[in-house]
């Protein structure tokens, strides 16, 4: 009888585990520094060295239900700075990813596990995210790796564009380039209706107006 109980217990815990993994809600976080996170990064104008002040605001605190895919494609507990091992040539601070995940869980406590896939690179322009280029390749590779243990990619969170405001030609080409990028991502992830949540700086809104 104890044996049977143990068996029932084991089957139940496997089922719970399988359920959790199956339910993993994956979000791809891509773009430039605004997504990678520079909150709390202080530039010492004397030495030119940037350091993160280590302050994690309450809305960005770690949560046992929020994981991230690290640079080795392993799921680990998500902690700020989320992008430190991805945008590793820069000093990273607090970004929007953790606050987004915590806010989703606050509004929907039964949402299940969240898996964040940081991919943002500071200073990158939209051409570097073109299909065939390294940043695009890495993002798709990480997105596909995130699905290995089950789960569903719920959305791409995209925060990029400031680098493309430096010259007029890039600014005028942005709408076309970003549109192509979104279609390619949906195509390569075989998710034609993948929601894409885009943050805009007020200054970028002009260049996205249809012309």
CB of 93 to ligand NAG, least distance (A): 9
Rule CB under 6 A: say whether 162 interacts with ligand NAG: no
Tokens of 158: 């995209």
d(CA 190, CA 185): 8
Interacting span for ligand NAG (CB under 6 A) from 9-17, 20-28, 40-48, 200-208: 40-48
Residue count of the chain, please give it.
211
Q: Considering beta carbons, is residue 67 or 84 the nearer one to ligand NAG?
A: 84
Among residues 7, 8, 11, 42, which is the contact residue for ligand NAG, using CB under 6 A?
42
Q: Count CB atoms within 10 A of the CB of residue 193.
A: 5
d(CA 120, CA 100): 15
Type and span of the H or E element at 68: strand 66-69
Using CB under 6 A as the binding criterion, the count of chain residues that bind ligand NAG stands at: 10
Rule CB under 6 A: say whether 21 interacts with ligand NAG: no
Strand partners, 194: none
Please give the residue ranges that form the binding site for ligand NAG (CB under 6 A): 33, 38, 41-43, 50, 125, 127-128, 170
């Amino acid at each position: 009888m104890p044996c049977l109980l143990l068996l029932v217990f084991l089957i139940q815990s496997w089922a719970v585990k399988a359920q959790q993994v199956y339910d993993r809600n994956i979000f791809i976080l891509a773009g430039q520094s605004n997504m990678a996170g520079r909150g709390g990064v202080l530039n010492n104008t004397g030495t030119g060295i940037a350091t993160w002040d280590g302050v994690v605001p309450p809305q960005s605190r770690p949560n046992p239900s929020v994981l991230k895919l690290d640079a080795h494609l392993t799921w680990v507990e998500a902690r700020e700075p989320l992008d430190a091992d991805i945008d590793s040539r820069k000093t990273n601070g607090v970004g929007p990813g953790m606050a987004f995940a915590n806010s989703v869980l606050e509004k929907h406590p039964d949402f299940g596990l969240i898996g964040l896939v940081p991919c943002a690179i500071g200073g990158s322009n939209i051409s570097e995210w073109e299909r065939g280029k390294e940043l695009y390749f890495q993002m798709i590779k990480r997105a596909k790796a995130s699905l290995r243990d089950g789960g569903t990619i719920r959305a791409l969170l995209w925060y990029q564009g400031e680098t493309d405001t430096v010259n007029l030609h890039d600014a005028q080409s942005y709408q076309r380039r970003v549109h192509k990028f979104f279609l390619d991502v949906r195509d390569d992830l075989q998710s034609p209706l993948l929601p894409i949540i885009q943050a805009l700086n007020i200054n970028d809104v002009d260049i996205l107006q249809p012309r």
